[in-house]
């Protein structure tokens, strides 16, 4: 099912602000989303991994388990499940922590409904592409040394070891791989993967790159695969060629 067709989109909202939950449900319900609200971290984590969802909206501050612990449990059990995190104050530190743990995107609680819908559609559209991946499609595999990226199955492996990537991490890696040996600016990466332009400066690309480097076993000071060109952007290289 396409993520742009919102029929029967099941959305889990984990937030103890009951009034906000009702407002979101009232807004998204007529647009085709079935919004289920949970107000406790422990229950939210259990339901997130125990039932099928198109996306999760998760608050940082929760009774019981906090949002970071809930996100860790979600990512351990469901790395492909789209997660949009609320940041109560919109602090950059909150955003970075959430993205480091594996959130696909974040939104401050001062959001507009238009922005909420746009970001939600973007993360579900990306996950839908993963779910609809066709292993028999003919798009060529991207190879850089021992790193292999299969766009048809939306999977990646380093040697014989499959990489557990979130949808946004896969999109960044694939985008860099298609431009192997050429620099991608942060702005260009945002345009390629995010389907939105809400901020002039967005640290999320840097955080996702850091997560990819950890999963690739890249040394930040001397990376094998993803290199930083100061003031320019990022570039994926073949270690055998550099």
pLDDT of residue 12: 98
Q: In the predicted model, what is the mean pLDDT of residues 177-185?
A: 93
Q: Pick the most confident of 87-91, 190-194, 197-201, 224-228.
A: 224-228
Residue 226 to residue 219: CA distance in whole angstroms: 10
**How much is the pTM?**
0.72
- The token pair at 130 is 């993963």
Q: Pick the most confident of 54-63, 133-142, 196-205.
A: 54-63
- Classified by CATH at the fold level, domain 9-131 comes out as Rossmann fold (3.40.50)
- The token pair at 90 is 């919109």
For residue 71, give the 3-state DSSP assignment.
helix
DSSP 106-168: EEETT--HHHHHHHHHHHHHHHHHHHT--TT--PPPEEETTEEEETTTTEEEETTEE----HH
* Residue ranges covered by each domain of the chain: 9-131, 142-236
Specify the CATH number of the domain 142-236: 1.10.10.10
pLDDT tens, position by position, 29-67: 999 999 999 999 999 999 999 999 999 999 988 999 999
pLDDT tens, position by position, 73-94: 999 999 889 999 987 655 667 7
Residue 81 to residue 154: CA distance in whole angstroms: 14
């Amino acid at each position: 099912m396409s993520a742009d067709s919102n029929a029967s989109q099941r959305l889990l909202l984990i937030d103890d602000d009951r009034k906000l939950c009702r407002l979101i449900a009232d807004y998204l319900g007529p647009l085709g989303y079935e919004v289920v609200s949970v107000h406790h971290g422990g229950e939210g984590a259990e339901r997130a991994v125990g039932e099928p969802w198109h996306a999760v909206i998760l608050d940082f501050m929760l009774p019981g388990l906090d949002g970071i612990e809930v996100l860790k449990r979600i990512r351990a059990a469901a790395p492909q499940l789209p997660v949009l995190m609320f940041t109560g104050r919109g602090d950059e530190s909150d955003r970075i922590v959430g993205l480091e743990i594996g959130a696909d995107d974040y939104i401050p609680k001062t959001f507009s409904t238009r922005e909420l819908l746009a970001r939600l559609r973007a993360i579900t559209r990306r996950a839908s592409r993963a779910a609809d991946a066709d292993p028999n499609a003919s798009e060529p595999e991207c190879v850089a040394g021992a790193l292999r990226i299969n766009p048809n199955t939306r999977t990646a492996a380093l040697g014989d070891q499959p990489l557990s990537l979130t949808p946004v991490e896969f999109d960044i890696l694939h985008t860099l791989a298609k431009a192997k040996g050429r620099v991608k600016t942060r702005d260009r990466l945002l345009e390629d993967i995010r389907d939105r332009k809400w901020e002039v400066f967005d640290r999320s690309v840097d955080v996702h790159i850091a997560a990819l480097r950890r999963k690739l076993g890249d040394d930040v000071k001397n990376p094998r695969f993803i290199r930083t060109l100061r003031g320019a952007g990022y570039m994926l290289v073949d270690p055998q060629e550099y």
